Amino acid sequence: MSSLQRAVLTVAILASLVAFLDGSVVNVALPAIERELGGGLVLQQWVVDAYLITLGALILLAGSLSDAFGRKRILMIGLFGFGVASIACALAPDGVSLVVFRALQGIAGALLVPSSLAIIIQVFSEDDQPKAIGRWTAWTSAAMLAGPLLGGLFVDTLSWRLVFWINPVPIAVTVIILWRVQLDHEHAHGHVDYLGAVLGALGLGGVVFALIEQGQVGWSNLLVWGIGAIGCLSLAAFTIVELHSRQPMLPFVLFRIRNFGVGNLATLVVYAALSLGTLIIGIYLQEVAGYKATLAGLALIPSTVVMLLLSGRFGALSGKVGPRLFMAIGPVIAAGGYALMLTMGTHVNYWLELLPGILVFGLGLSITVAPLTAAILGAVPPEHAGIGSAINNAVARIAGLIAVACAGFIVAGPLAEGGLQRVLLVCVALLLIGGVVSAIGIQNKHRSADIAVDPAKAPPSVGPSASGTTSTPQSGSVST
């Protein structure tokens, strides 16, 4: 791995890590925030929701901006914005200010993840991308799973404000490394589809808002229905506009690439199972089995360790033999992990009833996630890596929100042993579907973006470059 590739991978991991970590670490701090700032349950909800709504609403626009103006530039803006918003959250004098600053954090966070993955695609060769994405996956997954534990330690020992104060440190390190990275040139065309951007943000924002709020007030609430309907209509209008635009923000031609379309379908079911299962297990351990919050967070750590150790290895293997095998068997193994947890009763024996399932589940995720991400992004032309990553992130987030929104229906009453078993069985079914979809649909072949594209409907950057050669990963350097 060259010095440029090491620097880019470090930047990608750190930039994504702060965005993912902040999305999960705050949850544990909510009671302490409410005790100091007041606001009750409403404030706690909006501290979480403000971040998720702006992040979800702007993820597609962020991916488009990354392709339009260059990944390094957008990453820099996102890092500075996230750092400033984090400091503002740490200094927030009241609940309203905190919610506003969390929304700004979500806007900046949306700029980080698509550009982080896109810059990996830009710098690493096609053969090296799966291993690099495997390492990225391991660390970002660790952030999401370890976040509640870290937040609990901060809240119990110091202050909830430290949850936000820690962000500027990794951000400063990332900015310094990124500043030294010199890319020869980037796939940047400077065009922004403003109408598509507005409709996409309204559509995703409305849908995300409705899915989040229905969990608090129910589907019968007129505000949920109204904003949800606006979101759906905006997405429909977005689709029509993008299909007829000469330079669309989201080139629907990407979905004609088999691994991209099938990979996102697999993402939908796999991440729905991941989000639903981890949420309900965490709640069950606390509310039924009597675990303390910190112990419930520690209970899931073994799967994080497995992913840290193995995701890079499976990513590298998928780069050599293709992603299909791993995407087919990984979800099945993860389903086996959830199936092992069906033995949990009211009194959970961690070592016998939970740990084996956690380890098997972590192994299945390690086999699945890096090859899945690499297959999707490896199928996309490098000049569309930003929007390709944004689409995949949007699919994963919407899948999780839908699954969580359906949790009450699946549990069917207060959470007890029967409700947990129903949730686990649903998760097993979703993961098995993900494995079957991948086994049937994923192809082991090199980037297949050489499909026929109508020049009148695709951005000018699709296909051969101006020099007459096909696009290749960009070279560059790290300044000393």
Please list the helix, strand and coil fractions of the chain in percent, rounded to the nearest 5, in that order: 80, 0, 20
- Asked whether residue 307 carries a pLDDT value surpassing 70, the answer given is yes
> What residues have CB less than 8 Å from 176, skipping those under 6 apart?
none
Q: Which residue reads 């004609």 in tokens? A: 256
Work out the average pLDDT over 168-196. 80
3-state secondary structure of 341: helix
Work out the average pLDDT over 216-240. 89
- Is 251 buried (19+), middle (13-18) or exposed (0-12) by CB count in 10 A? buried
Work out the average pLDDT over 362-381. 92
User: Which range is least confidently modeled, 117-126, 154-163, 259-268?
Assistant: 154-163
Task: Give the per-residue pLDDT at 135.
Answer: 87
Q: How far is CA 5 from the centre of its chain?
A: 22
Average pLDDT taken over every residue of the chain: 84
From the candidate CATH numbers 3.90.1150.10, 3.40.50.300, 3.40.50.10860, 1.20.1250.20, the one assigned to the domain spanning 1-183: 1.20.1250.20
Task: Give the per-residue pLDDT at 234.
Answer: 95
Task: Give the per-residue pLDDT at 231.
Answer: 93
- Asked whether residue 475 carries a pLDDT value surpassing 90, the answer given is no
In the chain, % of residues over pLDDT 90: 39
Q: Which of 178-187, 256-265, 380-389 has the highest mean pLDDT?
A: 256-265
Task: Look at residues 457, 153, 176, 134 and name the one whose alpha carbon lies nearest to residue 317.
Answer: 134
- Asked whether residue 192 carries a pLDDT value surpassing 80, the answer given is no
CATH fold of 253-446, please? Growth Hormone; Chain: A; (1.20.1250)
Task: Give the per-residue pLDDT at 210.
Answer: 87
> What residues have CB less than 8 Å from 351, skipping those under 6 apart?
none
Task: Give the per-residue pLDDT at 465.
Answer: 31
- Residue pLDDT, tens place only, 311-357: 889 988 998 999 999 999 999 999 999 999 999 999 999 999 999 99
Task: Give the per-residue pLDDT at 332.
Answer: 98
- Is 215 buried (19+), middle (13-18) or exposed (0-12) by CB count in 10 A? middle
Using CA atoms, how far residue 24 sits from 110, 374, 426, 469, in Å, is 15, 24, 23, 44
User: Which range is least confidently modeled, 69-78, 96-105, 130-139, 266-275?
Assistant: 130-139
- Asked whether residue 447 carries a pLDDT value surpassing 60, the answer given is no
- Residue pLDDT, tens place only, 136-175: 887 877 666 666 667 667 777 778 888 888 889 889 999 9
d(CA 408, CA 388): 32
Task: Give the per-residue pLDDT at 474.
Answer: 47
Task: Look at residues 188, 190, 189, 201 and name the one whose alpha carbon lies nearest to residue 241.
Answer: 201
Task: Give the per-residue pLDDT at 350.
Answer: 94
The pair phi, psi for residue 183, each rounded to 5°, is -90, 140
With the CA atoms of 265, 220, 212 and 341 taken in that order, what torsion angle do they form, in degrees rounded to the nearest 10? -70
Instruction: Say if CB 328 and CB 418 are below 8 A apart.
Output: no
Domain 1-183 shares a fold with domain 253-446: yes
Helix (H) or strand (E) holding 429: helix 417-441
- Asked whether residue 122 carries a pLDDT value surpassing 90, the answer given is no
With the CA atoms of 449, 455, 456 and 458 taken in that order, what torsion angle do they form, in degrees rounded to the nearest 10? 30
Task: Look at residues 16, 20, 12 and name the one whose alpha carbon lies nearest to residue 178.
Answer: 12
d(CA 134, CA 420): 31
What ranges do the domains of the chain cover? 1-183, 193-248, 253-446
Q: Which residue reads 């995949």 in tokens? A: 392
Instruction: Say if CB 250 and CB 387 are below 8 A apart.
Output: yes
Helix (H) or strand (E) holding 182: strand 181-183
- Asked whether residue 368 carries a pLDDT value surpassing 90, the answer given is yes
Instruction: Say if CB 421 and CB 306 are below 8 A apart.
Output: no
Q: What's 413's DSSP letter?
A: S
Question: Sorting pLDDT into bands at 50, 70 and 90, what band is 281?
Answer: very high
d(CA 462, CA 117): 19
> What residues have CB less than 8 Å from 366, skipping those under 6 apart?
138, 306, 307, 309, 310, 311, 314, 330
- Asked whether residue 370 carries a pLDDT value surpassing 70, the answer given is yes
